[in-house]
Structure 1
Amino acid sequence: MSVLPSEPVPGFDDLSLDWLRARRSVKWHRPGPRVLPAWVADMDFPTPPVVVAALREAVDRRDLGYPDWPDGSPLRRAFARRMMDRYAWAAPSDRVREQTDLIQCLQLVLHLATGAGDAVAIQTPNYPPFLATLATMNRRAVPIPMRDCADGWCMDPAALDTAVAESGCKALVLVNPHNPTGRVLTRAELEEIAAIARRHDLLVISDEIHAELAHEPHRHIPFASLSPDAAGRTVTLTSATKAFNLAATRCAVTHYGPDRLLALRDAQPPDLYGAVSPLGVIATEAAWREGDAWQRDLLTVLDRNRRRVHQVVSTELPRLRHHLPEATYLAWFDARPLGLGESPVERVLKEGDVLLVGGSPFGPDADGFLRLNFATSHAVLEDILAGLVRALRPGPSQ
């Protein structure tokens, strides 16, 4: 089944299994020595050299004391520059606040802007920690199902409008680009959502952490950039961690559109929600300032890999429903047509020695679905796909 890439990409296709299995992070450490992990959303690729150099320089100069940031970290200006350079969005830097990760960003905004029992709309399927956050914080999740359309996954604005009206939602958690389906919402779709938010006075909490992983010809559009009204009701959450593989640096940003919410945030005790690490700020600045060449190579590899996944699934497992993702390094499969009679995650692990995720943690009606992380080398991806096919290929009687 293996088809060699026409041009292996140095630094991305020369990963050894020994090096990967020696990692102490959860993706490769937890599954054990026999299993190939394609579950948690970490990439297998080494940290970008420009980030390593920036961190090493800070450590070599023994500069690990308290930072001198009287007006907030340099991330505030770095975020504003990145948004202007990438998306022509003039995001005021004085409305940016630092947090340790995106989940904390979401939890803080929900804590400040909503109360126990309040309804919050959210696309489903969705990133499991977001759904778990709503449950743990006693916010009533109002699922807005993504529809499986002929040419990809679709968000249904009419369903959103009806659900918000009937449930009295205070907020919408909008994940765009979407995890796990990989959809990139178009300007027309975003404008429909913005009209609904304006009509129902919704706070929009826009998770845009996968923005820089959109594949050609798709383009990410920051929700807050749509109009002054959208800007004034949107809280944007993002980080360099997904697009540059920096999860361990624990660094994210929140851009606050609503004046009242920003004032409420700044009225909190300054260290109540923790403080971002200076090393995380250094890593993020280096990635955003000097990492574009590395990221171009990354996107070349991810584009090739997403097409390879789609090719193998379409030819070897034609009943496994799948759309070519428009962004991210995640593939979302509907295994229900296979009629397995058991969890497809368990089947793939047992018969294919490959660890994926899926099912109910992604929301209602997600049983029978699988998510596969294809951010790895060509050789490792081929082994993952071989395990997937081995586990899910129909037998003679099927």
Structure 2
Amino acid sequence: MHRVAADPIDLLRTRTSAKWRRYEPDVLPLPVAEMDYPLAEPIAEALHAAIRRSDTGYNSGSLPVAEAFAGFAAARLGWEPDPARVTCTADVSMGIVEVLRRVVRPGEGVVIDPPIYPPFFDLVTEAGGVVVEVPLAGGIDEGWSLDLPGIEAAFAGGARAMVLCNPHNPVGLVHAREHLAALAELAERYGVTIVSDEVHGPLSQPESPYVPFLTVSDAAREHGVTVTAATKAFNLAGLKAAMILTASERGDAVRASFPYEVEWRMGQFGSIASVAAFRHGAYWLDGVLASIDDNRRLLVDLLADLLPGVRYRMPQASYLAWLDLSALGWGDDPAERALREARVALAPGPGFGREAGRGHARLNLACSPEVLSEAITRIADARERPTVVE
């Protein structure tokens, strides 16, 4: 299997995105979900061609992206979404909010399952809902799963929607088909809408392919709305394009109720890049997945050698590693000390849920093996030094 090599660190530091401008130059930045790999050549060429023809106007609508994604999904994901049942918008978070605004009334509960992508907490409240936390069952040692009894109790208690992370960020869990089907049955029983964020789906490893929620059952198609994009798999977050997909008349009614501006928010370059990614980016993506696989395995060895008390379970999907750093004795937010004393930036665990994230941090694996090794070495060295008192 071919690999895609990360760009050299000196070149990466010339980037102007959040990952490379948020910290001082001596910091290794591994918190933000951006890849260090060069852009796929078919995407780069499509964008250069757009510039050459001054193709910088408004996007032409959802259909070009929807049709390209339908082909990609059929070839790689075992899913045949209907392009006519897709509405594009700027990004996944925006899509989640727009759906929630139409399926929950102000003050109604929306389930999320920590540890979870931190913006989910804000997206629920932005839409007028109230966060209902049902943490994942299990843990690093035995693996995670949906807490179906806890979710049912929340639905029975009046929660009207759930934002599902499928695959799950930050733990890299690929939800089992039977668990998704059981969740869909609960949604049907209680009249709940499942808003499934599937942006990490194309980043599942070959031995653990993710299951699109809308494929698991009639109940899932009736009560599910999926929001996804090319942005994570192809490193296009700054170009602004995402899709909201439905598979039933109930779901279609949600999309039909959107203001027309929802679709206009998609960026023209996001549309162009997404089409190129879905049509021509598969070879590049396979190489990226192989490189991520190397790094997720390398991290096992690095932790065993340098930080044997730190707990980690290899993610089945995504390029994010969820680390239990409690053994370091660095408090509830070990990322703070990692940044101050090791000059390694991690995503702070408590942001993923106050209880579920305590003592944890998230690390980005989409980097070179050398950067990953240097980061763990720095943290190990900092552990041995006396605490810096400011």
Please indicate, yes or no, whether the TM-score normalized by the shorter chain is above 0.5. yes
Deviation at 1:122, TM superposition (A): 0.9
Structure 2 match to 1:200: 190
Q: Is the 8 A contact 2:27 2:345 kept in 1?
A: yes
Q: Is the 8 A contact 1:348 1:392 kept in 2?
A: no
Whether 1:376 aligns to 2:367 is: yes
The change in CA–CA distance for 1:394 and 1:308 in structure 2 (over 3 A counts) is farther
Structure 2 match to 1:12: 5
Deviation at 1:40, TM superposition (A): 0.6
Deviation at 1:258, TM superposition (A): 4.5
Deviation at 1:394, TM superposition (A): 9.0
Structure 2 match to 1:150: 141
Identify the range of structure 1 (337-346 vs 382-391) with the bigger mean alpha-carbon deviation: 337-346
Q: Is the 8 A contact 1:207 1:238 kept in 2?
A: yes
Within 2, Cα distance between the matches of 1:206 and 1:119?
16
Alignment of 1:46-85 (within 5 A): 46-69=38-61, 72-85=62-75
Deviation at 1:389, TM superposition (A): 2.0
1:347 to 322, 337, 349: 337
Deviation at 1:67, TM superposition (A): 5.0
5+ residue gaps, structure 2, are: none
Percentage identity across paired residues of the two chains: 35
One-letter amino acid of the structure 2 residue matched with residue 377 of structure 1 = S
Structure 2 match to 1:100: 90
The change in CA–CA distance for 1:177 and 1:269 in structure 2 (over 3 A counts) is closer
Q: Secondary structure at the residue paired with 1:142?
A: strand
CA offsets, 1:3-28, max 9 Å, x none?
Answer: xxxx994x514x22221111110101
Alignment of 1:157-172 (within 5 A): 157-165=148-156, 167-172=157-162
The change in CA–CA distance for 1:141 and 1:67 in structure 2 (over 3 A counts) is closer
2:300 to 310, 332, 343: 310
Within 2, Cα distance between the matches of 1:254 and 1:66?
19
Deviation at 1:249, TM superposition (A): 1.0
The change in CA–CA distance for 1:172 and 1:154 in structure 2 (over 3 A counts) is same
Deviation at 1:88, TM superposition (A): 2.7
Identify the range of structure 1 (184-193 vs 207-216) with the bigger mean alpha-carbon deviation: 184-193
Q: Secondary structure at the residue paired with 1:375?
A: coil
Within 1, Cα distance between the matches of 2:344 and 2:35?
16
Alignment of 1:222-371 (within 5 A): 222-271=212-261, 274-341=264-331, 343-365=333-355, 366-371=357-362
CA offsets, 1:268-315, max 9 Å, x none?
Answer: 442266431222111001111111111111011000001111221233
One-letter amino acid of the structure 1 residue matched with residue 282 of structure 2 = D
Structure 2 match to 1:90: 80
Q: Secondary structure at the residue paired with 1:85?
A: helix
2:169 to 170, 176, 179: 179
Deviation at 1:242, TM superposition (A): 0.4
Q: Is the 8 A contact 2:2 2:287 kept in 1?
A: no
Identify the range of structure 1 (34-43 vs 263-272) with the bigger mean alpha-carbon deviation: 263-272
CA offsets, 1:325-362, max 9 Å, x none?
Answer: 11110010122243334630111112211000123321
Q: Is the 8 A contact 1:39 1:371 kept in 2?
A: yes
Q: Secondary structure at the residue paired with 1:314?
A: helix
Q: Is the 8 A contact 1:234 1:256 kept in 2?
A: yes
Q: Secondary structure at the residue paired with 2:261?
A: coil
Deviation at 1:118, TM superposition (A): 0.7
Within 2, Cα distance between the matches of 1:317 and 1:91?
45
The change in CA–CA distance for 1:264 and 1:212 in structure 2 (over 3 A counts) is closer
The change in CA–CA distance for 1:67 and 1:169 in structure 2 (over 3 A counts) is closer
Structure 2 match to 1:34: 26
One-letter amino acid of the structure 2 residue matched with residue 376 of structure 1 = C
One-letter amino acid of the structure 1 residue matched with residue 5 of structure 2 = F
Q: Secondary structure at the residue paired with 2:134?
A: strand
One-letter amino acid of the structure 2 residue matched with residue 340 of structure 1 = W
One-letter amino acid of the structure 2 residue matched with residue 330 of structure 1 = L
Identify the range of structure 1 (77-86 vs 51-60) with the bigger mean alpha-carbon deviation: 77-86
Q: Is the 8 A contact 2:166 2:197 kept in 1?
A: yes
Q: Secondary structure at the residue paired with 2:87?
A: strand
Whether 1:388 aligns to 2:379 is: yes
Within 2, Cα distance between the matches of 1:286 and 1:52?
9
Within 1, Cα distance between the matches of 2:224 and 2:257?
19
Identify the range of structure 1 (302-311 vs 335-344) with the bigger mean alpha-carbon deviation: 335-344
Q: Is the 8 A contact 1:235 1:258 kept in 2?
A: no
Q: Is the 8 A contact 2:117 2:169 kept in 1?
A: yes
Q: Is the 8 A contact 2:99 2:254 kept in 1?
A: no
Within 2, Cα distance between the matches of 1:141 and 1:66?
35
Identify the range of structure 1 (344-353 vs 333-342) with the bigger mean alpha-carbon deviation: 333-342
Within 2, Cα distance between the matches of 1:124 and 1:394?
33
Deviation at 1:264, TM superposition (A): 4.5
